Amino acid sequence: MGGKVKVIKMAKKKELKKEKKNADSLSIEEIEETIVSLANAGHSPSKIGLILRDEYGVKNFYELSNGKSIQKVLSEHELLGEMPEDLLNLIRRSVILEKHLNKNKKDFSAKRGYEITVSKIRKLGKYYSKNGKLPLDWKYSAEQAALLVK
């Protein structure tokens, strides 16, 4: 049975090598079209990077395009969200933790995790408002976060 697994793994490696050979034949414009189509399909920029790496064999789009990132391509095509992805993920986590804390009042470790998450959200909010990705008067509130995640 171990021999069959090795044969299957070797076959998968050969398929990956074939895919990576196809990545060399793709032009930057074709990769950008792929990025736009993946964004239209609902994928986040980080997920698009993983798909490009795994399915198309593009190791690093930033190096291929001479300093153009996936987010820059998405912003050129106006497909980038209004809130940065890392901040949105932290807000989702805080909403989940808040719901958990409402059900489990004595879970103090979850309370500590919630406090740390909210602290990270506030720090990122300050950073993004200084850099112009969020409005200068942006503040985190649990009520707005719950509405944003829904």
d(CA 53, CA 56): 6
pLDDT in tens, 23-67: 567 888 999 999 999 999 999 999 999 999 999 999 889 988 888
pLDDT of residue 22: 56
pLDDT interval class at 130 (50, 70, 90) = very high
Let me know whether 60 and 19 are in one domain.
yes
Let me know whether 58 and 91 are in one domain.
no
pLDDT in tens, 71-108: 999 999 999 888 899 999 999 999 999 999 999 999 99
Task: Using the 3D structure, point to which of 42, 58, 76 is the last residue of a domain.
Answer: 76
Let me know whether 59 and 109 are in one domain.
no
Let me know whether 42 and 7 are in one domain.
yes
Let me know whether 70 and 90 are in one domain.
no
Which one has a higher pLDDT value, 112 or 10? 112
Let me know whether 92 and 131 are in one domain.
yes
Let me know whether 39 and 89 are in one domain.
no
Let me know whether 65 and 104 are in one domain.
no
pLDDT of residue 7: 55
Per-residue pLDDT averaged across 103-127, rounded? Answer: 97
Task: Using the 3D structure, point to which of 42, 76, 110 is the last residue of a domain.
Answer: 76
Domain count across the chain: 2
d(CA 34, CA 51): 10
Q: Which residues contact 17 (CB under 8 A, 6 or more apart)?
A: none
- Domain that includes residue 64, residue range: 2-76
The pTM (predicted TM-score) of the whole model is 0.74
Let me know whether 68 and 89 are in one domain.
no
pLDDT of residue 66: 86
Confirm if 64 and 58 have CB atoms less than 8 A apart: yes
117: tokens are: 């998450």
Q: Is 121's pLDDT higher than 70? A: yes
73: tokens are: 């391509």
Let me know whether 8 and 48 are in one domain.
yes
pLDDT of residue 26: 84
